Amino acid sequence: MSKEVFETFTLPSGVKLKNRLVKAAMEENLANTEQLPDENLFNLYEAWALGGVGLIITGNVMVDHLAMTGPGGMALEEHTDISSYEVLAQKAKQNNTKVWMQINHPGRQVFKKLGGKALSPSDIALDMGKHSKLFSQPKAMSEEEIEEVIQRFTITANLAKQAGYDGVEVHAAHGYLLAQFLSPLVNKRSDKWGGSLENRARLLLEIVRAIRQSCGDGFAVAVKLNSADFQRGGFDVDDALAVVKMLEPLNIDLVELSGGSYEAPAMQGRTADNRTLAREAYFLEFAAKIAQQSQIPIMTTGGIKRLPVVQKVLDSGVELVGMASALAYNPELPNHWQQVPGVVSMTRQVEWKNKTLSGLANMALAKRQLRRIATGKDVKLNASPLFTVITDQIRSAKLTKRYRRQYKNEIK
């Protein structure tokens, strides 16, 4: 039977979504000085909730304020005052929308200028060519540091539940810490956390078990996983399927399949191993293959902006469809589709020769739209990519100074 985009879907935990459209996580960099949400993020999440998606997954919320992907990111830890997160959940849950908190640790993908912790399974630095110097040399984690990370994820998930979120998504994709443990290119450990895929997946599985045990069955737990890293010799689709099979006994609600890392930004449609991705629904081929063999509902995200593509994804066996950039440019896209199915979200895609700069430009353009929505302005479709990159870098530098000032007694 054909799945309908706007029909309800019930997750294994019993949580019912009003439709199959999901606002996938984007890094907003709109948190305040204390790495907490405030009015800007409240406005942005309200716009998405009123726009008609069934589920909102927050942008990265870090489990450690000294390990951030960006200086304007959110963090939620043991002693954090959760009142602002409660308000964010209330804003996001309007219009019968569910909200999950994406929780993450960047591992080695921490910019050197931020300071703080750069941890990884092994002391292998990022290879970004001439841009490698932007990142710190990571430290191979001790057993104690691994156990601390498990605790941090569990504490953050508990606090999310207390603050009114319907679930959490554990980020194990895009080259962040848990993806680093999964990758044979980054994880060179010879202890129980490295070697075989079972050992490399151990940290992710331990975190999921701890969260499920701590938060109970009525709380949704999802995992974001790479369908592939798109690097030669790296984590690939057969590995992803094997990890999904390992997750099946753990009673989780969803696996979101994406791809890539800072070294190979496939989540922006570009690979490092010359594999070609579809122009929309980048990872559908991989997600469909895994969905056919998985007992866990599968979601895929990547470049989706048209309703017929959403239907194609659902017809492939995938249960939920994630959208990010499309909803940065048009937060009301689901509502518009119900009225005019032919509406297309007019996103911008920069194709400069320098792939790293193209990636920066695409992210900067999307974040610029998020800031406009957060401050009550209309989206600006004709924004200059070069001007946007320059102003984004200036803004990032100011936020970095603010971050280093705030935590000057804690960071290197």
Write the pLDDT tens digit of every residue in 224-269.
998 877 787 878 889 999 999 999 999 999 999 988 777 766 566 6
| Percent of the chain at pLDDT exceeding 90 | 74
Q: State residue 341's pLDDT score.
A: 87
Task: Report whether pLDDT(378) > 60.
Answer: yes
For residues 220 and 252, give the distance between their C-alpha atoms in angstroms, rounded to a whole number: 7
Q: State residue 328's pLDDT score.
A: 94
> Counting every residue, how long is the chain?
412
Write the pLDDT tens digit of every residue in 188-200.
999 999 999 999 9
H/E stretch holding 372: helix 355-374
Q: State residue 179's pLDDT score.
A: 95
Which residues lie closer than 8 Å to 276 by C-beta, 6 or more apart?
A: none
Write the pLDDT tens digit of every residue in 42-91.
999 999 999 999 999 999 999 999 999 999 999 999 999 999 999 999 99
The overall average pLDDT reported for the chain is 92
| Percent of the chain at pLDDT exceeding 70 | 95
Mean pLDDT along residues 173-194: 95
Q: State residue 372's pLDDT score.
A: 95
Q: How confident is the model at residue 405 (pLDDT cuts 50, 70, 90)?
A: very high
Q: What is the pTM of this model?
A: 0.95
- Classify 94 as helix, strand or coil: helix
For residues 139 and 256, give the distance between their C-alpha atoms in angstroms, rounded to a whole number: 29
Residue with tokens 């957060």: 374
For residues 332 and 205, give the distance between their C-alpha atoms in angstroms, rounded to a whole number: 36
Write the pLDDT tens digit of every residue in 135-155.
889 999 999 999 999 999 999
- Classify 174 as helix, strand or coil: coil
Q: State residue 332's pLDDT score.
A: 95
Q: State residue 129's pLDDT score.
A: 80
CATH superfamily, domain 9-406, is Aldolase class I (3.20.20.70)
Write the pLDDT tens digit of every residue in 325-371.
999 999 999 999 999 888 887 777 777 877 777 778 888 899 999 99
Write the pLDDT tens digit of every residue in 201-210.
999 999 999 9
For residues 317 and 320, give the distance between their C-alpha atoms in angstroms, rounded to a whole number: 9
H/E stretch holding 351: none
Q: What are phi and psi of 404, to 5 degrees?
A: -65, -35
For residues 383 and 315, give the distance between their C-alpha atoms in angstroms, rounded to a whole number: 35
Strands 320-323 and 21-23: parallel
Q: State residue 357's pLDDT score.
A: 78
Q: State residue 363's pLDDT score.
A: 87
Q: State residue 358's pLDDT score.
A: 79
Q: State residue 269's pLDDT score.
A: 63
Closest of 89, 92, 119 to residue 23, by C-alpha: 92
Q: State residue 343's pLDDT score.
A: 84
- How many of the other CB atoms lie within 10 Å of CB of 150? 16
Please classify residue 65 by burial: count the beta carbons closer than 10 Å to its beta carbon, then call 0-12 exposed, 13-18 middle and 19+ buried.
Answer: buried
- The string of DSSP codes covering 22-39 is EE---------TTS---H
Select the more confidently predicted residue: 271 or 141: 141
